[in-house]
Copies of this chain bind each other. A is one copy, B any other.
Amino acid sequence: MGRKPLTTEQRDAMRARILDAARKQFLKGGLNDLSMRDIASNVGISAMTIYLYFRNRQAIVFALIREGLDKLRDEMYRFTEIEDPMERLIRMGEAYVGFAFENPQYYRALTETIPHNGRDRDRRAEHAKLLDDVSAMVKPILQTVGELTGSRKSREATNETLVLWCVLHGFVSLALNDRLRFLRASDDDLRQQLRRMVPRMLTVRRD
């Protein structure tokens, strides 16, 4: 007896509505401007109701970061079918940079969220898993670089991938956070410059 619990569909629908409102807010003003009360008000529910669908604010943040991760991976994996490893690599690099420029909030959340070091073991584990997954998004690049350097030397492929990822991320990170002012270049100029850099990084490395 008693009131029946919500169906899975109902729960998922409400979660989606909450996440939609959260995403809207997040894409506009970043994680800092994401408040439980604003989300609730946009959904049309009271603030505490959110806690029936998400454990807390960080659960929402994590969900958004996972979204960003999925989106970025999709846009990179789109090119896994290209046969020529060099071209595949270039396309993936461009996709990576393109994603970052078009989704700066997602990219910042993906790369700048600070690891959690609280007492709560579950929380730590959850955060660790998220960081593992973010870190692992470089795998298709790693595999492609492996094809380029010869699959035997996996250590070398790892090193080359590290360099490449650092260039890509460093560039994007500095550009998004407006730390490339000394160049006095537009975003388009920068992206074009980087496009020339990616193949050079690896053509150089091939010999």
A residues whose Cβ falls under 8 Å from a Cβ of B: 30, 32, 108, 111-115, 131-132, 134-136, 138-139, 142, 158-159, 162-163, 165-171, 173-174, 177-183, 193, 197, 201, 204
Q: Are A177 and B139 in contact (CB under 8 A)?
A: no
Q: Is the interface of A mostly helix, strand, loop or mixed?
A: helix
Q: A135-B178, A138-B182, A169-B173 are in contact. List 13 more A-B contacts (CB 8 A).
A: A108-B112, A111-B173, A111-B174, A111-B179, A115-B177, A131-B178, A135-B180, A135-B181, A135-B182, A136-B181, A139-B182, A169-B179, A170-B173
Q: Are A166 and B174 in contact (CB under 8 A)?
A: yes
Max chain B C-beta neighbours (<10 A), residue from A132, A165, A170, A180: A170
A32 neighbours in B (Cβ, 8 Å)? 114
**24 A-B Cβ contacts within 8 A?**
A32-B114, A108-B112, A111-B179, A115-B178, A132-B182, A134-B179, A135-B178, A136-B181, A139-B182, A159-B193, A162-B197, A163-B167, A163-B197, A163-B201, A165-B170, A165-B174, A166-B168, A166-B170, A167-B167, A168-B170, A170-B170, A170-B173, A173-B173, A204-B204
Q: Are A166 and B167 in contact (CB under 8 A)?
A: yes
How many copies of the shown chain assemble into the complex?
2
- Smallest beta-carbon distance A69→chain B, Å: 11
Residue of B nearest to A163 (CB): B197
Q: Are A183 and B171 in contact (CB under 8 A)?
A: no
Q: Are B167 and A183 in contact (CB under 8 A)?
A: no
Q: Are A162 and B135 in contact (CB under 8 A)?
A: no
Residue of B nearest to A112 (CB): B112
